[in-house]
Amino acid sequence: MKNIVQLLVVAVIGLTAYSCYHDKLPEPIIEEEEIIVDNVSFKDDIQPIFTQNCINCHNGTTTPNLTTGNSYAALTNGNYVTPSDKAASVLYKTITGNGASQMPPSLPLEQAKINLVGQWIDQGALNN
């Protein structure tokens, strides 16, 4: 009887000591969902990305010129964008760093902005 009581005491102490540690479940890994925008606007969605992140260098002295009013022609006439094919577009390769030097070099774009540029290209790279 004494052995059973001792065994129960040890079991209760052991379960109490370890139960709190093991009760916490690991935080679930939440992958960033890609937000699909039906009609990405160059003027409203893409140009602001260039204005915020690129025109410090690409302001007319470095090609392509990504300043407002010049960027669309510079990208499409300069063969930086292959409409409807982001994988073949130099612009997309540079902002992802896949097959070209990463741009911007100091701080890569946020994934949401990269996705938006990719969607714009895949939607035909329209000047809208």
pLDDT band of residue 118 (cuts 50, 70, 90) is very high
Three-state secondary structure call for residue 79: coil
pTM to 2 decimal places: 0.71
Contact 46, 123 (CB under 8 A): no
- Token pair of 14 as six digits: 């052991």
Q: Domain segments of the chain: what residues?
A: 42-122
Q: Flag whether pLDDT at 15 surpasses 70.
A: no
What letter represents residue 111's amino acid?
Q
- Cα–Cα nearest to 96, from 113, 71, 79: 113
- Classify the phi-psi angles of 84: left when phi > 0, otherwise alpha if psi is within -120 to 50, otherwise beta: left
pLDDT band of residue 117 (cuts 50, 70, 90) is very high
- Token pair of 81 as six digits: 């964008």
More confident residue, 110 or 38: 110
- Residue % of the chain over a pLDDT of 90: 66
